[in-house]
């Protein structure tokens, strides 16, 4: 009997020691990793909350969801492009600083501070010879894209966060396959988590014909992905170096309204002809080369052909990602908000900005700027939605006009100020897009394009309900609880 109790006490002591050791390792490693990496104070506190309340499990979650890749050298610009880009960017910066920067657009001249910031932080060179077609209905977008694919002569570079091989996806894939058969060079880059049902074997036929397909940050053993939190959310298509596409829509049946869950799908996407396509081409090359140890893309004249005069729209293609020091696209949003004198129009499926964006919007409201924000009427991610609802409710009480879109699912990521500057791209108004994902946005300095965006907002407003402070105050205790939880963990959503 004595031996039994001695054994029991001994085993209990061993279990206690093992448990304490694990907890201590969890504590020191977690705290060390959090404070060694670049994070906001909000994010640090949110992760500490998770790590302390669910130790060990929280630490494992942090390894997969919380780690940053800042200062990791992922993207390397080919030497020839690097030399030319650095020269062009420096030349444009010098001209702005000397007040010698000549632009065809008076709007661009008025907003040279925003242009300067994107140049300095992001090497987003300015182009004026551009023509833009804006698509507000995704069926029209993909109809035009398929037409452009069929007319391709030299190369097609196709990059998406989500690429589903459903009805729409197969139609596009078959069009790409046919062009590869004709001798057109096809490259497809998809995000491994966004397109989680895809495998390289799904592209066996196009690869056998000489086409190239890669997954961004691929998983190990099909299920383990150490970069689950850093995804390539960009949507870029470049055809013959002359036509480019970018915006909010992915490739899948739900994006053309063929989903029982989401119904009508409202998105905004751009078709660009002109010199800005060179920026999209360079971005694709960087993303492609980051995922390949062989068959890397190198500078070739056919990728950057001379562009004829196609238009007068001035724009910059800005990108951002967790590998960079500055959150460039967020800075672009902030600069637009702070520059607004009359109106701000924002449409985003997720509205969980950090404190800097929220305070900038509050300052704008208190300064008499007309702030208009539109969000969906139902979630595709519940916690994200209730965090969104909390934030727009707070701004509504201060005087912002909040529109809840009713016709279907609102997915576009757009901002417009003063009928002058527009930003359209892949970047949601949340920390995930600002700090964790790789994103791309077009910043457009053109009154005609800005007015088109405002008119699109007003058309969407007809199919929306206004969230007044009175309506927001009547929400149930259950909604308030969900908002509270979502707000608490919003820095890591």
Catalytic residue annotation: 233, 235, 240, 411, 413, 418
Give the per-residue SS3 of 21-47.
HHHHHHHHHHHHHHHHCCCCHHHHHHH
Query: Using an 8 Å Cβ cutoff, are 303 and 278 in contact?
Result: no
d(Cα 155, Cα 157) in Å, to the nearest integer? 7
Own/partner contacts of 111-115, CB < 8 Å, gap of 24 or more, are 111/339, 111/420, 111/421, 111/445, 113/335, 113/339, 114/332, 114/335, 114/336, 114/339, 114/421, 114/443, 115/316, 115/445
What's the rounded Cα separation, in Å, for the pair 322 and 438?
7
Separation of alpha carbons 85 and 447, rounded Å? 28
Query: Is there a contact between 47 and 26 (Cβ–Cβ < 8 Å)?
Result: no
Q: How far is CA 78 from CA 116, 118, 185, 324, in A?
A: 24, 21, 20, 18
Q: Do 176 and 186 contact (CB within 8 A), yes or no?
A: yes
Count Cβ neighbours within 10 Å for each residue of 187-226 and write b for 16 or more, e otherwise: bbbbbbbbbeebeeebbeebbeeebbbbbbbbbeeeeebe
d(CA 431, CA 435): 6
Distance CA 440, CA 476 (A): 38
Contact 232, 287 (CB under 8 A): yes
Residue 303: burial class (beta carbons within 10 Å; 0-12, 13-18, 19+): buried
DSSP β-ladder status, 370-376 and 343-347: parallel
């Amino acid at each position: 009997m004595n031996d039994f109790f001695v054994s029991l006490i001994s085993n209990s002591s061993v279990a206690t020691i093992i448990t304490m050791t694990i907890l201590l390792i969890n504590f020191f490693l977690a705290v060390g990793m959090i404070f060694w990496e670049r994070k906001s104070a909000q994010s640090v506190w949110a992760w500490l909350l998770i790590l302390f309340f669910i130790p060990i499990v929280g630490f494992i979650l942090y390894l997969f969801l919380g780690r940053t890749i800042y200062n990791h050298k992922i993207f390397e610009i080919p030497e020839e492009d690097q030399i030319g880009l650095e020269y062009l960017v420096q030349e444009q910066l010098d001209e702005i600083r000397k007040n010698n920067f000549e632009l065809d657009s008076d709007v661009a001249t008025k907003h040279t501070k925003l242009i300067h910031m994107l140049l300095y932080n992001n090497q987003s060179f300015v182009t004026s010879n551009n023509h833009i077609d804006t698509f507000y209905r995704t069926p029209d977008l993909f109809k035009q894209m398929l037409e452009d694919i069929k007319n391709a002569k030299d190369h097609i570079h196709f990059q998406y966060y989500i690429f589903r091989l459903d009805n729409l996806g197969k139609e596009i894939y078959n069009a790409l396959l046919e062009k590869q058969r004709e001798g057109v060079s096809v490259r497809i880059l998809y995000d491994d988590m966004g397109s989680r049902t895809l495998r390289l074997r799904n592209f066996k036929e196009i690869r056998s014909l000489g086409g190239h397909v890669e997954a961004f940050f691929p998983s190990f053993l099909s299920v383990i992905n150490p970069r689950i939190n850093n995804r390539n959310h960009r949507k870029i298509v470049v055809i013959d170096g002359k036509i480019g596409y970018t915006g909010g829509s992915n490739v899948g049946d739900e994006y053309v309204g063929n989903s029982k869950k989401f119904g009508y799908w409202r998105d905004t996407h751009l078709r660009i002809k002109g010199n800005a396509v060179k920026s999209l081409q360079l971005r694709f090359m960087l993303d492609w080369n980051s995922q390949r140890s062989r068959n890397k893309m190198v500078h070739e004249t056919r990728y950057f052909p001379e562009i004829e005069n196609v238009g007068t729209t001035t724009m910059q293609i800005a990108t951002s990602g967790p590998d960079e020091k500055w959150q460039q696209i967020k800075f672009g949003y902030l600069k637009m908000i702070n520059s607004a004198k009359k109106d701000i129009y924002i449409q985003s499926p997720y509205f969980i900005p950090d404190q800097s964006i929220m305070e900038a919007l509050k300052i704008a409201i208190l300064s008499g700027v007309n702030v208009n924000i539109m969000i969906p009427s139902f979630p595709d991610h519940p916690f994200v939605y209730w965090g969104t609802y909390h934030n727009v409710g707070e701004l509504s009480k201060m005087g912002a006009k909040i529109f809840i879109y009713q016709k279907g699912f609102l997915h576009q990521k757009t901002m417009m100020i003063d009928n002058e500057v527009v930003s359209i791209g892949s970047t949601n108004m949340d920390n995930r897009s600002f700090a964790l994902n790789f994103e791309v946005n077009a910043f457009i300095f053109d009154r005609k394009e800005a007015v088109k965006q405002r008119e699109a907002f007003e058309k969407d407003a007809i199919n929306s309900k206004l969230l007044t402070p009175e309506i927001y105050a009547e929400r149930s205790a259950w909604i308030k609880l969900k908002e509270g939880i979502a707000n608490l963990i919003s820095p890591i959503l």
